[in-house]
Amino acid sequence: MKVLFRSRIDTDAALSLTASLADRLAARGVEIAFDAGTGAALGRPGEPIGTTDADTVVCVGGDGTILLAVQEMARQRPILGVNRGEVGFLADLEPEEAPAFLDRLVEGFAVEPRMRITFSLDGRVLGTALNEAVIVTSRPAKMLRFSVLIDGLPSAQFRADGLIVATPTGSTAYAMSAGGPLVDPRIEGFLLVPLAPYMLSSRPHIISSDRRVEVALESSKPAHLVLDGQVQFEIDGRAVLRVERAEESALFVDVGRTFFEKVERKLRRL
């Protein structure tokens, strides 16, 4: 078995935990690797995470560390998150739980797929998100006008500061802060949440991923499309974005906790 470690590199606590966990597995005969940034921070050899052939990737940090790893991997590998961030909803293990779980990892593990969404413009794929895409104006304090088309038919038209298009996995992130519902990640659909809509009747939608969904901007103002808080594109105020279920899901090591247990443990007690 080969395990690649990626750490949040701006805190000594995360780097120290990463080194400790890696050395623990190496002592058990597991092949260990570090992504390039983590290796450089630890003074050890590293390899590009984008082309890794590791059997699993252990991310030590917060949700941003995990989201960036998913963004960078050309082929998705099972991810195990160890929380060294804030809430860390995608990071299933706390630091004190990680050593014992990693000891069992070498015996085999189950994998939980998580739907991702792909965004295209004029037939060109812009990128893919695990949590969400956010469409906002590039001019502060200005609203955008949106039209949502489902299977080619207009479904909703509204003005708002922006629009979140999230996966069920992302329903616990920005979409939740904007008033969207929590969605079981086993449901495959798109969650659309207007940001500060002008009309109170503009409410969140959950749309089946089997449908053809397009988001049309109807404004003279340019906008920004931000994927998972990591990748940003400037788009025209008249752009029509195609929203589709990505061909390849993100993969997470199943630690034996349900979505609802994590909601209770990490969100309801904040």
Return the active site residues. Answer: 63
The pair phi, psi for residue 233, each rounded to 5°, is -130, 145
Q: Name beta bridge partners: 191.
A: 166, 206
DSSP sequence for 160-173? ESEEEEE-SGGGGT
Length of the chain: 270
| CA–CA dist 38, 170 (Å, integer) | 26
3-state helix, strand, coil in the chain (%, to 5): 25, 35, 40
Q: Alpha helix (H) ranges present in 98-231?
A: 98-105, 174-177
